[in-house]
Homo-oligomer: A and B are copies of this chain.
Amino acid sequence: MKLATYKDGSRDGQLVVVSRDLALAHFATGSATRLQQVLDDWNFISPQLQDLYVTLNQGKARHAFPFDPRMCMAPLPRAFQWVDASAYLPHLQRLRQARGAELPESLTTDPLMYQGGGDDFLGPCDDAWFGSEAWGIDFEAELAVITGDVGMGASPEQALDGVRLLMLANDWSLRHLVPAELAKGFGLLQSKPATAFSPVAVTPDELGEAWQGGRVHLTLQSSCNGRKVGLNDAAPDMQFHFGQLIAHLAKTRNVRAGSIIGSGTVSNADPGKGFGCLAEKRAFETLQDGAPKTPYLSIGDVVRLEMKGRDGTSLFGAIEQRVAGPQALQPPEEAGLAEAGTGADASDG
Q: Interface on A for B, CB 8 Å cutoff?
A: 11, 40, 78-81, 83, 86, 110, 112-120, 129-131, 135, 152-153, 174, 177, 180, 182-191, 193-194, 248-249, 251-259
Interface of A is mostly: loop
B115 with A129: CB separation less than 8 A? no
Nearest B residue to A255 via CB reads: B119
A189 with B131: CB separation less than 8 A? no
B78 with A115: CB separation less than 8 A? no
Distance to closest chain B CB from A246 (angstroms) = 12
Distance to closest chain B CB from A12 (angstroms) = 9
A81-B131 in contact given A190-B248, A190-B252 (Cβ < 8 Å): no
For the complex of A and B, list the 3 residue pairs with the smallest distance between their C-beta atoms, beginning with the closest: A187-B187, A80-B119, A81-B119
Task: Give the contacting residue for A183; candidates B11, B185, B257; CB below 8 A.
Answer: B185
In Å, the complex CA distance between A255 and B194 comes to 10
Nearest B residue to A80 via CB reads: B119
B118 with A80: CB separation less than 8 A? yes
Task: Give the contacting residue for A186; candidates B114, B120, B249, B251; CB below 8 A.
Answer: B114
Distance to closest chain B CB from A132 (angstroms) = 9
